[in-house]
Amino acid sequence: MTPEPALFTIQPAGLLDLNDLRRLESLCFEADAWPVLDLMGVLTLPGIVRLKAVIAGRMVGFAAGDKRDPLGIGWITTLGVDPAYRRQGVGRGLLEACEEQVGLPRVRLTLRRSNLEAYRLYQAAGYSRYEVWPQYYSGGEDGIVMQKVLGEAKNSQIG
C-alpha cells in the first residue's frame, strides 16, 4: 500500500541548512554520505542548483544539480529523501524541480547498482540506463549512470 502523498514545499537551500543536510545525508547514504566540506560546497558554489523539500519547517529531502557543463549535460549530483517520507512524491518533486532549474537538454545522475528503489523512481521519471562506472562506490559497488533527454532535444536525439 502506497502512503498518502506528503504535503511539502520545495525551497532554495543555503548554508544555513548545513546541519539539516548533514543529518539527511547520514540517514540516506550512510557510508556514501558526503563529507562536510563537500556539503558546504554544494550549498555555496555558483552554478549549483540546491533545493530542499520541507514539511512543517523540517527538511525531509534535498537535491542538487550542476548546470556548468558546456556540452549541455546537467548532472543531478545528489537526491535524498528521509526514509520516513519516501514513496510520497517528495523525491519525484525534487527531481522535477531540479531538472527544470538545471535547464539543460540532457540530465544525468549516478546511483548504486543495488539501489532499486531509486532506479525505479528515475525510470518512471523518464531516465534510461546510459553506462556503468565499475567499482564507483565505497565497497566496490558499480555506479549506474542514467540519462534523461528533456524537451525538444528528445526529438532530435540520434539513436
Beta-bridge partners for 76: 65, 109
Q: DSSP labels for 1-32?
A: -PPPPP--EEEE--GGGHHHHHHHHHHHHGGG
Please provide residue 130's backbone torsions phi and psi, each rounded to the nearest 5 degrees.
-110, -50
Domain assignments of the chain as residue spans, ordered by start: 9-156
Reply yes or no on domain 9-156 having CATH 3.40.190.10: no
Using one digit for the tens of pLDDT, what is the confidence trace for 103-138? 999 999 999 999 999 999 999 999 999 999 999 998
Using one digit for the tens of pLDDT, what is the confidence trace for 61-82? 999 999 988 888 999 999 999 9
Closest CA to 143 of 130, 156, 127: 130
